[in-house]
Chains A and B, each alone.
Chain A
Amino acid sequence: MTLAETCESPLVTGEATPTERILNLAAYLKQRGGEGASLDDIARNVRGYDPEAARDTHGDLITAGPEWEALRRMARRDLQDLRDAWGIDTIFDDEAHRYRLRPPFFTTRERAALIAAAAAVDVEGIEGHRGQLGAGVDDAGAQVVIRVHHRVADLRDAIQTCTAVRFDHEGRTRVLQPFALGTWHSRWYVAGWDPGLDALRRYRLDRIDQHGSMERVGDPGSYGIPDWFDAVLAFDFDPNTWGRDPRLRARVRVERDHLPAFLAELGGQIVGEAAGEPVVAFEVRHYESTRNRILFFRDHVLVLGPPELVTIIHDHLVALAGAP
């Protein structure tokens, strides 16, 4: 027999502790649903409240006097505890004099999906506390490990409150109005407006002085995140996205075995074949970075066109080969 199947326990027959009373109240309000419950209903049906509180000749609770006041105070304290300790919140309907539960933040299925995610993805760098959603899950078999830089939580708070921050980054002190956080190639960055430079800037969090402090400067709400700010673009570090060189459409022949790595590095589409190998085309807006990234593939990639790009790579190699 399980303990739950018996009603012999003194916990049931004896007087309810405050914790039992509060949990009983939550269960009762949950059961009442949209109909809600009056203080009278609570007093009659929730163990731990006084069902004998003063009533009129119709059996209704007398809504005045010390007994009613004590009942009301007890219910308010219990509802406060429910909110503070369990996140269970109620709405009081002034007209109907009834308490109702606020709708849940997550549905049961949403919570289950998040718990599954927490089990599959181990998020390092943000501690979970006992009892919090996803903190009790067994993530020993997690497939994915994501490291969250320790500055992320601090910057998130600054972004939420629109408070500028000051930090040392690669030997220089920067003031930033942070707009967003993001990752690129597993590195965390913060993007925002640098009033000193009067420009949008991105800073790599692991290049912020780890021993220095990150101070808040100015008042919360002292700036707004502008409409033109595009977070997706802000964390796209591909130079061919933001480069200013005249646009070229590159065509390169890539040995098939190196194609996945090439596409991962430079993107583009397969547009045909040459000498039995795929030909990839992609947009170029930053010549120097494109040249450098193509050179990583050595002679497994051959630039077919346009002539400007062929010349850029050829001239660079000639200059190096002619150097002492």
Chain B
Amino acid sequence: MAALTKQRQFDVLRAVLGLVEERGSVPIAECAELTGIPEELLRDTLGAVLFVDFHTADGSLVSESSSFLLDEQSVVTLTASHWLRDVAAAPPPPDTALRLLVAGTTMQAIAESPTPDLDTAVMKLAGEVAVELRMPVDIPPALSTVREALDQHRSVEVRYLSDGADAPTERELLPYRLWSRWGHWYLTARDVTQREAHQFRVDRVLSAVVGTTPFDPPDNVELPEWFDLSAHARTVRVRIRADSIESLPAPHRLGRSADLGDGWAELDVTVTGDRRLDHLLLCLPPDTEIIDPPEYAERRRADAALLLERSR
């Protein structure tokens, strides 16, 4: 089998040693798959780093070999530190620096205790990336209790205010996984009265205490890529002053706008759920004309009258 070029050897070693540092130990078969070279050739290539040594001026042998080991189970293990990365003076490549900056900045935002090493690392990365990044991830008050229940494999008793609901409900949830996406924290959990798990927004948990029901969380709870809310889409077609479009309450989706002249436009506005539809209708300027469906005009009028009545 042809030997690897020097550059290819570097690439292979960098990849394998980086992987080993980040996971502690990796089977050589996985390293071979990662690098795309046969296992035997990889063993030879790894030899370059497994047998690093040199002599000092007084003749004694110094070795870095103890850092990486390849054991009889064909597992590459890091025992001390990745000494090659320890002496790397160059900053990470731009994309890596950006990726680490985003991860590090987010981690700073969610950390529950001081992170001095992360702080200095992020500062160095920020200097390299030279871009202002604000990565706000709010920490809901109930997060720590939910996390505690998850760690203890116990239920969590919550008061939960669903989106658009007027009053909260009391629930006992079996927490499967806690995760954050799209700037919010979610809990994948099963209500003890139900058979299937659902997603709960942790910031909508008004109060939480660790419950008494023990349980074994299932393995491999996958994060949803997205929520299919298309069944809840509500669309209204309006004639509106063009300069009012920017003031429509978010989130919404705008259809293609038809210019009616004199600063007026006609377009579809889509929101999710009846509560957001009612909110949208209430926020439209009074001179906005509701075209379709026509019954939404009366819906808006009646809702405004109801709120006026209740505010008295």
Chain A residues engaging chain B, CB cutoff 8 angstroms:
1-4, 7, 9, 11-12, 17-20, 23-24, 26-31, 41, 44-47, 81, 83, 85-89, 101-121, 123, 126-138, 142-148, 152-153, 156-157, 159-160, 179-186, 231-232, 234-235, 257-258, 260-261, 264, 288-289, 291-293, 295-296, 298-300, 302, 314, 316-324
Contacts and interface: CB of A to CB of B under 8 A. Distances in A.
B161 A143 contact: no
A87 B52 contact: no
Contact of A181 (B51, B64, B131): B131
Interface in B31-56: 34-35, 44-45, 47-56
Contact of B286 (A4, A17, A107, A320): A320
A114 to B, nearest CB: 5
A3 B181 contact: no
B183 A3 contact: no
A31 B62 contact: yes
Interface residues of B, number: 114
Interface of B: 6-7, 9-11, 13-15, 17-23, 34-35, 44-45, 47-57, 62, 64-66, 68-72, 81-96, 98-100, 102-104, 106-107, 110, 115, 117-118, 120-121, 124, 129-138, 140-141, 159, 161, 166-168, 178-184, 203-204, 206, 223, 247, 249-250, 279, 282-283, 286, 297, 300-301, 304-305, 307-308, 310-311
B202 to A, nearest CB: 11
A117 B124 contact: no
Contacts of A106: 85, 88, 121, 124
Given A47-B54, A106-B121, A146 B135 contact: yes
A152 B47 CA distance: 40
Nearest to A178: B131
A264 B184 CA distance: 12
Nearest to A316: B286
Nearest to B59: A45
Contacts of B70: 2-4
A324 B288 CA distance: 11
A132 B98 CA distance: 12
Given A26-B84, A130-B35, 20 more contacts: A12-B51, A18-B6, A20-B48, A26-B87, A31-B62, A81-B6, A81-B10, A106-B124, A110-B117, A119-B22, A121-B107, A136-B23, A148-B102, A160-B130, A260-B206, A292-B283, A293-B249, A299-B310, A300-B166, A324-B301
Nearest to A191: B132
Contact of A324 (B118, B140, B297): B297
Given A11-B48, A136-B18, A114 B311 contact: no
21 contacts: A4-B68, A30-B86, A47-B53, A86-B88, A87-B88, A88-B90, A120-B110, A143-B110, A144-B106, A144-B137, A145-B223, A147-B182, A153-B95, A156-B94, A184-B134, A232-B132, A257-B168, A317-B304, A320-B301, A321-B301, A323-B286
Given A146-B103, A183-B136, A113 B115 contact: yes
